[in-house]
Amino acid sequence: MLPPISCATACSTVELTPPKGGYLSGWSSLGGRALNDPPAAPEGEPYGRRGLYVTCMIVKGSSEQNTFYLISLDLHSCSAPLLAAVTSHIVTAYSCLPSHIIMNGTHTHSGPGRYYGNKLYDAMTVAGHNLVWGFDKKMFDFLKGKVIECVDDCHGKLEKGFFEMREGKVWGYSSNRSLSAHKRNPTYNTWLTDPSLPGYGGLEEKKRRGGKKYLNDEDLHVDPRLRAFISKSNNSDLLGIIGSFSCHGTSNGPHIRHYDPDWFGDAKRMVNETLDLEEAIPVAVMQACCGDICPMPHCGPFGECDDRGERPVNVGEELKTVIGEGVGRELAQIVLAEDNHADLADAAEPAPSKTKSNKRKKQAEEKPSAKSARKKAKKSKPQRKFTVSGASEIWDVTSSFGARLSRAQFGIATIAGTASGGNPALYKHLGMGFPSNTLPPSHPQHPKTPLPFPATTYVGWGAPKDIPLTVVLLCDSIFIATVPGEPTVATGAQIEKAIRAATSLDVKVIVLGFSGDYAGYWVTADEYDEQMYEGSSMLFGRQGVNVLTERLVALAKSAWGGSRIFG
């Protein structure tokens, strides 16, 4: 997607695990609480504990203002106060532009809550525990301090090197849990055949697998794209990798009793194991568009996952390992595949490296085919240099209230949950959708069946209203657009298409959910009409994604028209 670009770069990771005792942000309503410390990692693993981590990658061109910060958090989501605090530090300490900073949460349900800065989600993450609710400044300050520590450490490691990005597709580790809503989209019929849509190539993958490993509609109508942002030294040693994939962080199930990164932790470990480096490197996997995507086919916290013909996979440690190791192995292979730039140092000017050599331990034992591939490697030094342009805003959602959006409301189906994390007593009655004519067709929230008073009043009062949005353009080749919450795969595809159409550019568009803030689900207008959990949990009404798309398109145009500092 993006060949090696000359720059200064670095990557760093710092443990983010809070002290035990807090409620797990995604499982609190089901009694999830971090009563124990995370287990120690076996000797030789890259991280000291199987806890939460923050990972930062910095890519710098000719100046501080031509610098991009990509920060991945093992948290339920980024939050607006956390983004504001870290951005303030980076701008003050390093003179970076605020619109060049992206902070993404993995959406692990086994992370802490109460750092969101809005009354709705600071209360929901401790649902049912009324003695401990609301914003926890001590927790917030702890998380903020760790993120800033990671950023500062990363900045101190900057060295001359290369930045690149690659992409592959991975099926079989994720499944669309709300297919009936997804089918309402006009893109459903072409999801697997249109090259511009995420699912393109799915039919070929299904045919290739055949037999017991077949993929059905739920498995194919996902976003299988696995991206890799890669930081390398001038000697082509890997400095760090940040990937992105679309799959909920719910493989643990609600019975876990410690802070845990969910499958993302196993993915990080497997990347390092597969790369087989002399020294482990920082690795993270960001969350993309997983609003309707759960781990593997048909899995839920109260049962098992059917993996299409073989024995079921138990929710918890086993499921987490299967998904994490699978995605991690594929991410490492994307980094290794067709590595035509492994010997760039032969052509580039040598520069002292701040890191130890990080060549693969088994490089000398490569098979002849691998050696041949390296001999054919491109020897010329990359001529392109790193550029970044960005645009950001704080969207006052109330300014859009009227005919298109309205005061935040949850629907009845929200209390039922989903197939991968629901209330078993309610899900069978409400979880498959609950549209109605409770509200008139002209109302922005129609056909939602609102929660009764006083719940609906609290939701409208406590929901986030000032939401940060960012679009970054890297090297005039890749747009990265942030969504403050949980976009479905069709929502992501809608935003991608709109940005490409509006800019008339032959570029890649990457949509990252859980970035900047958390404001619930973001579903297309067609999905909203089904009023399943995702549509019911869409706060601002049926047209919410259309209005969000328009604002992101405006930011993309601004980023493209902005001043890009070359070099």
Contacts of 369 (CB under 8 A, 6+ apart): none
Does the bond joining 447 to the residue before it have cis omega, within 30 degrees of 0?
yes
Confirm or deny that 76 is annotated as ligand binding: no
Confirm or deny that 107 is annotated as ligand binding: yes
Task: Give the span between the Cα atoms of 303 and 301, in whole angstroms.
Answer: 6
Task: Give the span between the Cα atoms of 479 and 474, in whole angstroms.
Answer: 6
Q: 232 near 238, Cβ under 8 Å? A: yes
- Read off the DSSP letter of residue 216: -
Nearest to 55, CA basis, from 75, 73, 37: 73
Q: 111 near 15, Cβ under 8 Å? A: no
Tracing tokens 């090297």 back to the chain, one arrives at 475
3-state DSSP call for residue 432?
A: coil
Q: 388 near 474, Cβ under 8 Å? A: yes
Radius of gyration of the chain (CA): 22
Q: What is the 3-state secondary structure (H, E, C) of 97-159?
A: CHHHEEEEECCECCCECCCCCCHHHHHHCCCCCCCCCCCCHHHHHHHHHHHHHHHHHHHCCCE
Tracing tokens 């009404």 back to the chain, one arrives at 541
List of E strands, 397-496:
466-474, 478-482, 486-487
Q: 163 near 230, Cβ under 8 Å? A: yes
Nearest to 325, CA basis, from 390, 272, 384: 272
- Read off the DSSP letter of residue 187: G
- CA distances for 232 relative to 279, 285, 357, 401, 493, angstroms: 14, 17, 11, 46, 30
Confirm or deny that 248 is annotated as ligand binding: yes
Confirm or deny that 527 is annotated as ligand binding: no
3-state DSSP call for residue 104?
A: strand
Task: Give the span between the Cα atoms of 238 and 274, in whole angstroms.
Answer: 13
SS percent in the chain: helix, strand, coil, step 5: 35, 20, 45
Binding site residue list for Zn(2+): 107, 248, 486, 521
Binding site residue list: 107, 248, 486, 521
